[in-house]
Amino acid sequence: MVRQQSFPPPQRLLLGPGPSMVHPRVLQAMSTPLVGHLDPAFLTIMEENKRLLRWLFGTANEITIPISGTGSAGMETSLVNLLEPGDEAIVCVKGLFGQRMAEVARRCGAQVKEVQAPWGRIVDAADVRTALRGCRKPKVLAVVHAETSTGVLQPLADLATLAREHEALFVVDTVTSLGGHPVRVDDWGIDVAYSGTQKCLSAPPGLAPVTVSPAALSVIHQRRQPVQSWYLDVSLLSQYWGTERVYHHTAPISMNYALLEALRLIEAEGLEARWQRHKRNHEALAAGLNALGIEFASQEGHRLWTLNCIGVPEGVDETGVRRALLDEFGIEIGAGLGPFKGRTWRIGLMGESSTAANVLAVLSALECVLPRFGFRVEAGIAVAAAQRVLAQAKD
Amino acid sequence: MVRQQSFPPPQRLLLGPGPSMVHPRVLQAMSTPLVGHLDPAFLTIMEENKRLLRWLFGTANEITIPISGTGSAGMETSLVNLLEPGDEAIVCVKGLFGQRMAEVARRCGAQVKEVQAPWGRIVDAADVRTALRGCRKPKVLAVVHAETSTGVLQPLADLATLAREHEALFVVDTVTSLGGHPVRVDDWGIDVAYSGTQKCLSAPPGLAPVTVSPAALSVIHQRRQPVQSWYLDVSLLSQYWGTERVYHHTAPISMNYALLEALRLIEAEGLEARWQRHKRNHEALAAGLNALGIEFASQEGHRLWTLNCIGVPEGVDETGVRRALLDEFGIEIGAGLGPFKGRTWRIGLMGESSTAANVLAVLSALECVLPRFGFRVEAGIAVAAAQRVLAQAKD
């Protein structure tokens, strides 16, 4: 009896902050019988994943590998390998994931200076310049590209210049941008970037792609003490992912299968086309929300295409609406985090979830549900507004 | 063209040190469409996994959860949460995984005393007693139950008593024993135990079940400084896995589906029956190897049922035999590690891989392959010896 209730779970349309929808080909890859983690056939798959990840990150970095954990393990990998006790790190904080970066850096024993921006806004490069000038020898400048808690896309060009000027390593969280927004690691002068599989790559959660520049690698090789995490030690990992194939830990075989299929789907679509798809569907959703009178919580001109962080209308029951969407329409959207808890919703349009059909599905479901919670909606107005954007994009 | 070569990979019979074979029902679970990591349906699955893991570990520990990484992440979780800089830790080292425990403990800043045994032998409790007496205040006594690099099963009763007498927390690696050998966390006085999904649980690699006793949890809550790993911080993880459901990181949804199905298969078989199956198939394999004149590298009376570490006969090409088994029979067996590299093979009979058919398959393949490498074999002798054991076990 219990069995029927808990598994398999109900079907969902995943429009939250991740996981996003997974393509049937990727799901099928997950169920492929396993080979060993040192099998020649698996080594070929590892090479293919490294090649495709380099292409996706826009980098020639040799060390471009999927870490055996979720996006947060990617964050931890990036910081624990670079930072040693006493090192100075500047961390830009404009939401939960910037806070997390600062916390992880502090747990490395680093002297962390946070450069803050209010939730929903980008960090000002001038503030970062001031912070850098106050440092003796900043080792790391860290920033979240796409802040999943606020829906804000941080411009990186000025920060990259500042990092270069101060000879700090530039560490960028691309969890919610990689595969949805342009990310060009080498062109932009990024030293370490990380992401997760369950957002715009549309694979299940479980791996964290990470790329490490030669400059960052050289800093890692000159550490005074071992990396505090054995599991996430890049020098050890690179012996398994490099030509030596030295056993480190048992790689998550099935997740690497899934990553390969997900990357091949991205390759087949093409990056430019994929970015345009994310942009168009975001604009269609935004038009619909605007027609409803729902406002974005993120700063205009700096909104993510991949995750839409919007204000809950005054007086509306935040959890009630989400529960109705889930129970009656099978649609998941995300709640707010931190100071945005109870005040925002987060609608993700990432990877396979970013489709015209899904934009119309969530808008029409909102049109049905919101009036019940005391928010007046003119029937069809949001859907119509979105349809106009979608029609224009087709021309 | 590349596509056809790299994926899907060839079919393998996995008789190495893991991953082991995965039941079709578990593979199917991996391809189930995803729900969100805070979806009520997923929370039910989490509860079911916790319940079944408690039953499997033989514990009532509230904190009994799958860590989002492989077995080595389980090891790191166990040690980084307990140890702070300056703490004394006794680590039993009789193979690679004991060495790894010591290394991880040192990276926590602990003062590590290694109690060594030669590779292939168990650690002597008298040596542990001596080491404990030389400590001011030993915080942790750590040991590998089933040493995957040597095929040795460490008796735990005396060590548990010593840990209790010295008020040290007893940490046990059950990566290659849980689900194949008896593991009784509460009865045996284990404070923290961890495992991996890809050995005797026969799920793909990617999760590390960990259980933490109330005594260990109390030590964690009294830490002077934060756990150096944010990703593996048990206090934070327990807020997600507990009733609060506070977002920490995105749980690997599909791997949790797979774990649930794998645990249900174990529940359906029953633990006693499962242990007996592992014992019988090990004995059949051992009889076959004995008939061939191949010797175990592990101490008699302390051999694992789950992983058979055997000596490569004098003059035989170690890698040549493994390659022939893989290329011609699709059978993976493992190489030796560390000082055993080039001198041993490791034949895993774990979880779904532990069947009479697989015992006969690997023995008959060895009978075919070994003569080519200059090792004389009487045709059928190993298979016949194994069959006799299997027939007796049926009576």
**CATH code (residue A342):** 3.90.1150.10
Name the residue range of residue A304's domain.
Answer: 271-394
Residue B1 resides in a domain: no
Question: For residue B347, which phi and psi values (nearest 5 degrees)?
Answer: -105, 110
Contact A6 B41 (CB under 8 A): yes
| pLDDT confidence band for A267 (50 / 70 / 90) | very high
**Model-level ipTM above the cut of 0.95:** yes
Q: Give residue-wise pLDDT tens across range A210-253.
A: 999 999 999 999 999 999 999 999 999 999 999 889 999 999 99
Closest Cα of chain A to B27: distance in Å? 4
The span from the CA of A342 to the CA of A363, in Å, is 20
Last residue in a domain, options A249, A267, A285:
A267
| Averaged pLDDT, B138-167 | 98
User: What's the rounded Cα separation, in Å, for the pair A234 and A229?
Assistant: 10
Report residue A6's pLDDT band, with 50, 70 and 90 as the boundaries. Answer: confident
Q: Which residue of A has its CA nearest to B15?
A: A36
Q: Quick check: B139 pLDDT over 50?
A: yes
Neighbours of B357 (CB within 10 A): 10
Q: Where are the alpha helices (DSSP H) in chain B?
A: 2-6, 24-30, 40-57, 71-82, 96-107, 125-133, 157-165, 185-188, 214-221, 234-241, 253-269, 271-292, 318-329, 356-369, 381-394
CB contact under 8 A, B39 and A326: yes
Identify the closest residue of chain A to B22 by CA–CA distance: A33
Chain A residue with Cα closest to B232: A73
- Give me the CATH number covering residue B65: 3.40.640.10
Are B335 and B309 in contact by the 8 Å Cβ rule? The answer is no
Residue B293 pLDDT: 97
- Residues of chain A in contact with residue B32, where contact means CB-CB under 8 angstroms, are 7-9, 27
Classify strands A138-144 and A88-93 as parallel, antiparallel or unpaired. Answer: parallel
- Reference A152, options A339, A346, A298, A337; nearest CA is A298
Can you give the pLDDT at residue A395? 65
Q: Answer whether A99's CB lies under 8 Å from A93's CB.
A: yes
Chain B interface mutation, best of A99, A250, A347, highest count of B Cβ atoms under 10 Å? A250
Q: Model-level pTM?
A: 0.97
The pLDDT of residue A330 is above 50: yes
H helix intervals, A116-222: 125-133, 157-165, 214-221
pLDDT in tens, B320-341: 999 999 999 999 999 999 999 9
A7 found inside a domain: no
Structure tokens at B17: 């040190």
How confident is the model over A138-179, as pLDDT tens digits?
Answer: 999 999 999 999 999 999 999 999 999 999 999 999 999 999
B362 Cβ contact list (under 8 Å, min separation 6): B13, B15, B285, B325, B331, B333, B347
Tell me which of A267, A291, A314 is where a domain ends: A267
**Closest among B184, B193, B208 to B71, alpha carbons compared:** B208
Tokens of B232: 């593996």
Q: Is residue A19 in some structural domain?
A: no
Pair (A229, A277) in one structural domain: no
Instruction: Indicate yes or no: CB of B19 within 8 angstroms of CB of A34.
Output: yes
* A159 shares its domain with A251: yes
- pLDDT for residue B5: 65
What separation, in Å, do the N-terminal and C-terminal C-alpha atoms of chain B show? 53
Contacts of A196 in chain B (CB under 8 A): 250
B51 pLDDT more than 70: yes
Residue A1 banded pLDDT, cuts 50, 70, 90: very low
Crossing angle for the helix pair B234-241 and B71-82, to the nearest 10 degrees: 120
The answer to whether residue A18 is domain-embedded is no
> What pLDDT sits at residue B169?
98
Question: Do the chains contact at B73 and A71, CB–CB below 8 Å?
Answer: no
| Residue B204, token pair as written in the block | 């793909």
Q: Do A12 and B204 touch (CB under 8 A)?
A: no
Q: Which of A70, A230, A264 sits opposite B250 (nearest CB)?
A: A70
How far B331 CA sits from the closest chain A CA (Å)?
A: 10
Same domain for A330 and A206, yes or no, is no
- Interface size A-B, in CB pairs within 8 Å, comes to 231
**Could you read off the pLDDT of A33-56 as tens digits, one per residue?**
999 999 999 999 999 999 999 999
Residues of B in Cβ contact (< 8 Å) with A326 = 39-40
Percentage with pLDDT > 70 across chain B? 98
Q: With beta carbons under 8 A apart, name residues in chain A contacting B332.
A: 35-36, 39
**3-state SS, residue B118:** coil
Residue B2 has pLDDT above 80, yes or no: no
Give B395's pLDDT tier (boundaries 50, 70, 90): low
CA distance A72 to A83: 16
Tell me, yes or no, whether B358 lies in a domain.
yes
Contact A76 B230 (CB under 8 A): yes
Q: What is the per-residue pLDDT across B277-322, written as a single tens digit (0 to 9) for each?
A: 999 999 999 999 999 999 999 999 999 999 999 999 999 999 999 9
Does A106 lie in the same domain as A38? yes
**What is the total count of domains within chain A?**
2
Q: What is the mean pLDDT of chain B?
A: 97
Under 8 Å between Cβ of B345 and B11: no
Which residue among B267, B287, B314 closes a domain? B267
Other Cβ atoms closer than 10 A to B341: 11
